[in-house]
Amino acid sequence: MRAQLPISLLIIMLQICTLSGQSSLFRETYSQAKFWTSINSAVRLSKHWGVTADVHVRRRDFLNHSDFYFLRMGGAYWINDQFSFVGGVAALWLATDTEVGQHYALERRLYQQGLWRAVIGKVTFLQRIRTEQRWHQVLDRANASVDRVRFSSRFRFLMSAAIQVFRSSKFPRPTLSNEILFHVGKEITYNTFDQNRVFLGINQRIAKNWTVDCGYMMVYQQRYSGNEYDLQHTFRLFFYYSPDFRKKMDDDLPHYPVGGIE
């Protein structure tokens, strides 16, 4: 646990420095209400190897309009009970309003992640570092054609904790997580800070291989202009499917999910 503290402190310091340095007399913030649901799977095939796949749908104006559709898949390697690695590909279709109606801009991704997990007493801690290489279409607002493809690299730092309040696993666990995201690229001049995501909710087991978490997520995102921000109030409902197909279960290397939010 002590070895992980410097990472946690570094993330917190980065977040404080980034947010404190962004004060502006001309800052504009736009509030939005959204709904986000997904199915996230982590399938264990052998002692160390497995596959992951996610499907996400997000709506804006709560349920009234489409925001994005997202697919992701990858290969997973569990080193031990605490550390794992995942890498793969993803595609996101972002709803974009144009003068000729709503159209979807395609974003292609490669991603890599390292995850640390520890159970200390009744609390399950998780830290994840994820890197992404993103190629996203920028649509011409006049006719919805693809104006150009913007490339960027994004770096994500997630910390979360789930608390086992009740003895029985039939009852929910309170869950708290915080993720800060940075990105860099040729067109990213004013908003190296991308967004901050804070989630507060509950996690509940609903079947042998299924769990669900639901709750409130606040997303504070900086736009490319640098002085405009989106404050998203999101109801999040995520399902997790984590089957273990190993012929012989390993108590020293238990199966645990390695997927995560978009």
pLDDT at 80: 87
pLDDT of residue 153: 98
The CA distance from 206 to 86, in Å, is: 26
For residue 1, how many other CB atoms are within 10 A of its CB? 8
Measured at the alpha carbon of residue 138, what is the angle toward residues 220 and 108, in degrees to the nearest 5? 80
For the four alpha carbons of 208, 210, 216 and 222, in that order, the dihedral sign comes to: positive
pLDDT value, residue 18 = 54
Q: How far apart are alpha carbons 161 and 216 in whole angstroms?
A: 15
Instruction: Please report the pLDDT score of residue 6 as a whole number.
Output: 56
Read off the pLDDT of residues 96-151 as tens digits, 9 standing for 90 and up.
Answer: 999 999 999 999 999 999 999 999 999 999 999 999 999 999 999 999 999 999 99
Mean per-residue pLDDT over the chain, rounded = 89
Instruction: Sort 37 into a burial class: Cβ within 10 Å, 0-12 / 13-18 / 19+.
Output: middle
Cβ burial 246-261 (10 Å sphere, 16+ → b, else e): eeeeeeeeebbbbbbb
Overall residue count recorded for the chain in this entry: 262
Nearest 5°: the CA angle 238, 243, 249 is 140
Q: What is the pLDDT of residue 253?
A: 61
What is the tens place of the pLDDT at every residue in 1-22?
Answer: 444 555 665 665 555 555 545 5
Query: Where on the phi/psi map is residue 97: left (φ > 0), alpha (ψ -120 to 50), or beta?
Result: beta
Return the H-helix or E-strand segment holding 220.
strand 210-222
Tokens of 74: 């990858």
What pLDDT sits at residue 16?
54
CA gap 173, 169 in Å, rounded: 8
Model pLDDT for residues 173-222, shown as the tens digit of each residue:
999 999 999 999 999 999 999 999 999 999 999 998 999 999 999 999 99
User: Is the four-CA dihedral 19, 96, 233, 109 of positive or negative sign?
Assistant: negative
pLDDT value for 199: 98
Average pLDDT of span 79-84: 90
b/e 111-139 (16+ beta carbons within 10 angstroms → b)? bebbbbbeeeeeebbbbbebebebebbeb
pLDDT(262) > 90:
no
What are residue 13's phi and psi, to 5 degrees? -65, -40
Instruction: Name the residue with tokens 């190897």.
Output: 49
Q: What is the pLDDT of residue 11?
A: 61
42 close to 259: Cβ distance less than 8 angstroms: yes
Q: Residue 254 has what pLDDT?
A: 64
CA separation (Å) from 181 to 142, 154, 201? Answer: 31, 7, 21
pLDDT-derived band at 260, boundaries 50, 70, 90: low
Spell out the CATH class of 39-241. Answer: mainly beta
CA angle 38/224/36 to nearest 5° reads 15
